[in-house]
Amino acid sequence: MQAVFDDPLLVPIRDKVEAGERLSFADGMALYRTNDILALGYLANLVRERLHGNLTYFNVNRHINPTDVCVASCRLCAFGKRVRDPKAYTMSLEEAWQRAGEGWSERVTEFHIVGGLHPELTLDWYCQLLSGLKQRFPGIHLKALTMVEIAFLARRAKVTVRETLERLRDAGMDSMPGGGAEIFNERVRRIICDHKIDGNEWIETARTAHQLGLRTNCTMLYGHLENDEDRVDHLIRLRTLQDDTHGFVTFIPLAFHPDNTALAHIPSTTGFTDIKNIAVARLMLDNIPHIKAYWVMMTPRIAQIALRFGADDIDGTIVEERIYHDAGATTNQGLRRGELLELIRRAGREPVERDTLYRPVERTETTFTVLT
Ligand code: V47
């Protein structure tokens, strides 16, 4: 028996999803415009369970933000500070290496390393940062630097994006996070982050990374000045690149947090919008394997619900989070491994600890092995 939907516009979409067919721009618009959240959930869950069954992924990771000094001054951001701001910080290499080993005793498998666009930190400095981390923590995967940081470092070093990526890869960079994509539409981008690379440059930097064999994530920032067309356009541009490269591992929809930003007048997103963005992403991005419900951004409670609306991953232990907390997030700075297991189990899903590339991690009391 087929599911009955309140919204008749979803019926042809249901037929496509059940047949495993690709959804169009118009389908994406219908998905965003519907209020039939249960229908969206039914369809997204169908795809999610087709791909991953009952499994839900998480990892034991630590965020490291070496500096919050940033020349971009994006209106969307509460994290970046001007170089002369007394509240700004920049870690020395020694501090960053030491910080990496601090925090909870749970053995992390990934360092997630991002920061501001610092006017003085050079490509060489980042190479030293990464090679120093590799020396001190040889088994830990370095997921480092967004496309925006890469393009900035390349420009400052007067070398190509390809060479920048090659040098960082040789220094120890294993993969890249998905930040900085924001929304590709130029009209909106000019308002929310006018000094950042444009959407085409973000896509072309990701293409180069993928061509060099670096896997990356991708994101979309929603809940600010964008409209439904901009969101669908963003998702389709990511899907088109993925058809070419197959380099994206995970998509993470990111809800805009307005506090302490130049866009503080914009109301925060609601749980309804957050869940809708997870479901639409799962349905539109038919070639990206994983959809992450980032618990810091959506709260553990909504992230848990998202596991029934298309998400198969809730990210990790994190330990220390700054970007969302500077923008008013009230969630914890980190969660323990046991708390993530519990969150997933209580949604009736089966937790799998993964490494950055989604290989299962097996733990004994004191060691862990990545199963290849
Ligand atoms: O690039 C900045 C966004 C991103 C705000 O790849 C803001 O696994 C909301 O990319 N409100 C950083 N969002 C976070 C990110 C990420 C997080 C978790 C996992 C991964 C991954 C990537 O956060 C930034 C920007 O897009 N951001 N300021 C703000 N006020």
Say which residue, 257 or 364, is predicted with more confidence. 257
Quote the CA–CA distance of 292 and 281 in Å, as a whole number: 10
Compute, in angstroms, the gap from residue 158 CA to the centroid of ligand 1. Answer: 27
DSSP class per residue in 83-149: TT-TT--B--HHHHHHHHT-S-SSPPSEEEE-----SS--HHHHHHHHHHHHHHSTTSEEEE--HHH
DSSP class per residue in 242-309: HHHH--EEEEEEEE---TTSTTTTSPPP-HHHHHHHHHHHHHH-TT--EEB--HHHHHHHHHHHHTTT
pLDDT-derived band at 86 (thresholds 50, 70, 90) equals very high
Of 358, 370, 365, the C-alpha closest to 250 is 358
**Does the model's pTM come out above 0.85?**
yes
DSSP class of residue 234?
H
Q: Is the pLDDT of residue 354 over 70?
A: yes
pLDDT-derived band at 6 (thresholds 50, 70, 90) equals confident
What's residue 253's pLDDT?
98
pLDDT (mean) for 123-141: 97
Q: Is the pLDDT of residue 250 over 90?
A: yes
Give the domains, in start order, of the chain with CATH numbers: 25-370 (3.20.20.70)
Q: Hey, how many other C-beta atoms are within 10 angstroms of the C-beta on 110? A: 23
Q: Is the pLDDT of residue 163 over 90?
A: yes
Is residue 39 within 8 Å of residue 63, measured between CB atoms?
Answer: no
Compute, in angstroms, the gap from residue 133 CA to the centroid of ligand 1. Answer: 23
pLDDT-derived band at 104 (thresholds 50, 70, 90) equals confident
pLDDT-derived band at 367 (thresholds 50, 70, 90) equals low
Q: Is the pLDDT of residue 371 over 90?
A: no
pLDDT-derived band at 363 (thresholds 50, 70, 90) equals confident
pLDDT-derived band at 1 (thresholds 50, 70, 90) equals low
What's residue 214's pLDDT?
98
Residues 279-329 pLDDT 10s: 999 999 999 999 999 999 999 999 999 999 999 999 999 999 999 999 999
Compute, in angstroms, the gap from residue 333 CA to the centroid of ligand 1. Answer: 14
What's residue 2's pLDDT?
72
Q: Of 40-54, 88-102, 252-266, 352-366, which gets the smallest average pLDDT?
A: 352-366
For ligand 1, which residues put their CB under 6 angstroms from it?
76-79, 146, 177-180, 182, 217, 219, 221, 252, 254, 256-257, 261, 294, 315, 323, 327
Q: Of 96-105, 139-148, 251-260, which gets the smallest average pLDDT?
A: 96-105
The rounded percent of the chain whose pLDDT value lies above 70 is 97
